[in-house]
Structure 1
Amino acid sequence: MLIKAIESNCGINADKLAEALQKPKKSAREILNLRLLRGCIFSFIGLALCIVGIVSLCMGAVFSAEHVTVPLVFGGASLAIGLSYLVVYFVTRKQIKD
């Protein structure tokens, strides 16, 4: 559509048309809130998986060693990602002024 408007040269400002067709950009506050949400989600999932792995390790007879390491590995990775999102949230929160 943008190319046809440029080719027809019927007096349409192509730059303004391109800006109007772009997705609306998220505000700094929305990006900050998304980081907080993602940080909480990843942290809670990671914590839950680590708890499942530790409980499985303590029960020992029900699960083999292979089944214990999977939740601990994914839980640790998820917890690390969640904590990194939370660190970025708390650092950048101070930079955004209302």
Structure 2
Amino acid sequence: MAARTNMFKQMDRVNSSTSPRLMNPNSIKDALLRWVQSRIQGYPNVNVTNFSSSWADGMAFCALIHRFAPDAFDFNKLDAKNRRQNFELAFRVAE
């Protein structure tokens, strides 16, 4: 878990040192959306087009977490109908 935390901190440092300092909120939102889309590309039945309904079943969040911690759980065993379980899993692994 500590290694994962350090990985996220390291990525944050790299990204913040190369990103523009002044961006308008829409640019930030669009950039974040594109980043998420690039990280979850290839995950079945996960299509993020916004920051609301695209996240409703927990699958996008699980895909994003799985991208950085692929050994933590089997993404292919998840079911979009099990929203609560998906979110609980994602938050537990992200901790």
TM bucket (normalised to shorter chain) is under 0.3
Q: With structure 1 as the length reference, what TM-score do the two structures score? A: 0.26
**Rg bigger for which structure?**
1
Q: Which structure's relative contact order is higher, taking Cα pairs within 8 Å and 6+ residues apart?
A: 1
Name the structure where helix makes up a greater proportion of residues. Answer: 1
